[in-house]
Amino acid sequence: MKVELLQHSNLKICAHAIRTCWQSFDKSDEGGEKDKELIDRVGNKFKHASTLEHLTYTFYISGVSRALLQELARHRMASPSVKSTRYTLKELKDEDTFTNGMSMIELKEKYTDISQVYSDIHMRRASKYLVFTDVLGVDFASVVALENLRLMLKDGVANDKAKFCLPESYKTELTWTINARSLQNFLSLRSSKAALWEIRDLAIMIFETLPNEHQYLFNFCVEER
């Protein structure tokens, strides 16, 4: 999984929006410590969180599963632009077999311990397209699904129908834009130890990718790491 911050609003934009309400522009220090304290006081302490919506962040997120993508879809006040399976499944067409006709039992018998199974050349090649859970039964089932998808594409089945074979673990990527108010909600929910492990990892990476001068707005949202 990778997270890249593509753009973010300047803090002075949020401070300007807040000062609009009181017409206190003369007290601005152009996004400095006075403005930062104002944003925290009004947006967080006084709960006028709508003012935080003037801060936006755009991330490029890659190497995440479609299962995680479903979780992200529940955060409605955000804008995702997602890698299209309709146009990109051709990446599988020229791949060799991911199973070589081997069953999970045969794969386990081939190696002396589980870690070696994941080092198998076919498993390593499959990991380019799949997010593994480290539960071998689940992961091998995903590899079998990937192989079935590859065979559908080789047989000339159109992407729009072949994609119904996609496992939830299939990797995708997206450009994701979210405002600070919604990001606080996202981080509060998804950094929890009760959250899906993959989206918890994403939440922590997103927080750590934020500019240092913005992180103070979100510190209280992120569970102890």
- Splitting the chain (225 residues) into consecutive groups of 10 residues, what average pLDDT does each group show? 98 94 87 90 90 97 97 94 94 91 83 84 95 94 96 95 96 98 97 95 98 96 76
Q: What is the pTM assigned to this prediction? A: 0.92
The radius of gyration of the chain from alpha carbons, rounded to an integer in Å, stands at 22
Please tell me the predicted confidence (pLDDT) of residue 224.
Answer: 66
Please report the pLDDT score of residue 27 as a whole number.
86
* 80 and 137 Cβ atoms separated by less than 8 Å: no
pLDDT tens, 130-152?
A: 999 999 999 999 999 999 999 99
pLDDT value for 132:
97
Query: How many whole angstroms separate alpha carbon 116 and alpha carbon 5?
Result: 35
Distance of CA 163 to the CA centre of its chain: 21
Catalytic residue, candidates 19, 150, 181, 190: 190
Q: Is 41 a catalytic residue?
A: no
CATH no. for 85-165: 3.30.1360.170
**Alpha-carbon separation of residue 197 from 129, 171, 174, 176 (angstroms):** 19, 15, 19, 20
CATH of 2-83+171-221, one of 3.40.50.620, 3.20.20.70, 3.40.50.300, 3.30.1360.170: 3.30.1360.170
Spatial separation of the C-alpha atoms in residues 147 and 130, rounded to whole Å:
12
Residue spans per domain, the chain: 2-83+171-221, 85-165
